[in-house]
Chains A and B, each alone.
Chain A
C-alpha cells in the first residue's frame, strides 16, 4: 500500500519529469507525438478537476446546511443558484448561451447576473486604490518620497489630461516603464523563474513531496 501511495507516484513523477524535460531538446517526430499524446491526457485530467471543484462545493455547503452553522442561509441560496443555473443550462438551453440568434435562459443568467456581479467586484478596486493611495503615499522616508514622485508622474503621463497639461510626463512615464520598470521586473522574473526551476527539479528528483499531501513522513 505504501508503494502505491508513496514510491509509485514518485517513480512516475521522476520518469515523466526527465522524459519531458529531455523532450524539449529532441525535435524528432516521435518526441512530438509523445507530447501530443500526454497533452491529451492532461486535458482530460483538467476536465475532471472541474467535477472535483463542483463536488467539493456541494459537499461543503451540504454540511453547513445540515449543521445549520451561522450563515447557513447563504449556503441554501448558493445551492438554489447552482441548481437553477444547471437546470436552465442543461435542460432548457441545452448548454447554449444563444440559439438561433436569440439569447437563451442560460445566456440571460450569464449576461445579467454573472457579468455585472464580476465587473462590480472588480470595479470596487478603483475606490480601494484611491483610499489605499491616500493612506499609504506619504513621504515618510526618502524612498517613500521617490515612490510618491514616480507615482504622480506615471499617473499623469498615462492619461490624456496629464499628457495635455504636462507633455513631458508622457516621455518620463515611457522611460520609467521601458527602462526602470523593465529592469526591476526582469530581476524579479529571473529570481522567480530560478525558484520555479529549482522546485521542478526537486519534484522530479523526489526531494519535494508536498504535492502528495500529508505530513513530514512523506
Chain B
C-alpha cells in the first residue's frame, strides 16, 4: 500500500469531520400550550441536532392563526443560537414533561412584540440560518389556555395530604391514649423548683410571652405553658406578673390564667391585673420590663415565645437580679443569648413539646407525634436522596431522577 493511499485514507474521515452538517428542517417541531401556567403563553419544542452551534441561529416566527388556506402574517419574535435552550434534568418532573430531556424547549410569553391571548389560535415556525443558508420548519399551531392545576406540584400536594392524614391519625390515637411517652425536658423539671424558690423568697414570678401575636406558633405554646405555670403558682399562692406587648395575647392570657386558678381550686387568689399591657414597641417594652425586674426583683423569670434583639437585654438584667431563668423559643438567632444567660433553655421544638408535656392535652400530644413522623420521613428521604444522587453521578445515569423528582419542589 503506497504512502499516498494511506494519507488519503486518513484525510477522508478528517475531511468528513471538518465538513459542516447540512442545514435540515428541525425535527419534531411542535407548538403547544405552556403547561402549568396562568395563560397568555405558548411553548415550542424540537429535537436537538448534531449541527447545533453558536454560529447557527434559530429564529422564532409567529402569526395569528386564521382560517385554513388564508395567508398568515408571520412576525419574528426572537432569535437565539441553536445550541441553547435545552430541556435539562430538574426543569420539569418526569410525570409532566413537555419534551424529552436534551430536546429544545422555549417558552414564548405574551410580549409587546407579539401579544398572545387565551383561547386564540396561533401559528409558529422556526427559521434556521447559518451563513447564506436558511431552512424553515413546518408550521405548527396551538392555543394558549390558563391551567387549573399545576401538575408539577402534585407531589407537593400529596405530601401535604399525607401529612394531614398522619397528623389526624396521631391526634386520634392520642385521644384514645394521652399517656404517650414524651422525652423528659430538663427545663420543665426546673419549673416546679423555680416556683418553689419564689414562694420561699416571697418574691413574684415574671412570665413573658414574647414578641409574637396569637397567630404565631410559639406564642400559642407560651400561653399553654402559662396555664400550667399559673396552676402551680395558684397552689403555692405566689404572685404572678405577666407583662404584655399585644392586647389580644393579653386578653387570651387573662382567660388562661383565670381558668388555671379555677382548676387549681383557688379562684379567690386570682388577681385581674396580673396580666397587664405595656406597649407594642420592642425597646419601650424591654425598658419597662427591665424596670420591673430591677424594682421588684422577681425570683423566677420565664421567657417563652418569639424574641428578637430584646432577648439579651431582658435576660442579662434578670441574671443581674439573681433570678432563676427559664427560656423557651424557636427564634434560633436569639438562642445563643438565652443559652448563655438562662439556667435552662428549651430550644425550638422543645417549646412546643413543653406545652404538650405539661398539659397532656391529646391534641397537643398527637400533634407532636405527627410532627415526629414527618421529621422521620424527611430524615429517611435525606438519606435516600443523598445515596441515590451520589449513585447516579457514579454510574452516570439519569434513571435515579425518577425517584429524586418525587421529592423535588417544581414551580
Contact = CB atoms under 8 A, between A and B. Distances in A.
Interface of A: 21, 24-29, 32, 52-53, 56-57, 60, 117-118, 121-122, 124-125, 128-129, 131-133, 135-137, 185, 188-192, 194-199, 201-202, 205, 207-208, 210-211, 213-216
Interface of B: 36-39, 146-150, 153, 156-157, 160, 163-164, 167-168, 171, 214-215, 217, 220, 223-224, 247-248, 251-252, 255-256, 258-259, 276-277, 279-280, 283, 286-287, 309, 312-313, 315-316, 319, 330, 332, 337, 339-341, 347-349, 352, 363, 367, 370-371, 374-375, 378
A135 B150 contact: no
B255 A28 contact: no
Nearest to B353: A195
A189 B335 CA distance: 13
Given A121-B287, A121-B313, A201-B164, A190 B280 contact: no
Contact of A137 (B313, B316, B330, B340): B340
Nearest to B286: A121
A135 B39 CA distance: 62
A136 B340 contact: yes
28 contacts: A27-B38, A28-B148, A52-B247, A56-B247, A57-B279, A125-B312, A128-B316, A129-B312, A132-B312, A188-B347, A190-B378, A191-B348, A191-B371, A191-B375, A192-B330, A192-B349, A198-B374, A199-B217, A201-B167, A202-B167, A205-B164, A205-B168, A207-B363, A210-B220, A210-B223, A211-B220, A215-B256, A215-B259
B357 to A, nearest CB: 14
- Most B Cβ at <10 Å: residue of A32, A202, A211: A202
B267 to A, nearest CB: 13
B220 A208 contact: yes
Contact of A132 (B224, B248, B330, B340): B340
A128 B313 contact: yes
Contacts of A57: 277, 279-280
Contacts of B215: 211
Contacts of B341: 132, 135-136
Contacts of B286: 121
B147 A27 contact: yes
A195 B352 contact: yes
B108 to A, nearest CB: 17
A202 B367 CA distance: 9
Contact of A211 (B146, B214, B375): B214
Nearest to B278: A60
A28 B313 contact: no
Contact of B313 (A26, A124, A188, A198): A124
Contacts of B160: 21
Contacts of B147: 27-28
B38 A194 contact: no
Contact of A216 (B148, B259, B279, B339): B259
B36 A27 contact: yes
Given A25-B156, A136-B340, A210-B223, 6 more contacts: A28-B39, A57-B277, A57-B279, A125-B309, A125-B313, A198-B371
B370 A198 contact: yes
Contacts of B37: 27
B149 A196 contact: no
B371 A195 contact: yes
Contacts of A190: 375, 378
Given A25-B153, A137-B340, A201-B164, A121 B283 contact: yes
B316 A131 contact: yes
A124 B153 CA distance: 48
Contacts of A201: 163-164, 167
Nearest to B366: A207
B251 to A, nearest CB: 6
Contacts of A27: 36-38, 146-147, 149-150
Nearest to B342: A136
A38 B363 CA distance: 30
B168 A28 contact: no
Contact of B363 (A32, A60, A133, A202): A202
Contact of B375 (A53, A56, A194, A205): A194
B38 A28 contact: yes
Nearest to B171: A207
Of residues B280, B347, B363, which shows the largest number of chain A Cβ atoms within 10 Å of its Cβ? B280
A188 B378 CA distance: 13
Closest 6 CB pairs between A and B?
A: A136-B340, A121-B283, A215-B259, A56-B247, A128-B316, A191-B349
Nearest to A131: B316
Contacts of A135: 319, 340-341
Which of A25, A190, A197, A205 has the most CB atoms of chain B within a 10 A radius of its CB?
A25
Contacts of B38: 27-29, 32
Nearest to A197: B163
A77 to B, nearest CB: 12
A52 to B, nearest CB: 7
A19 to B, nearest CB: 14
Nearest to B320: A131
Given A25-B156, A191-B375, A199-B217, A53 B146 contact: no
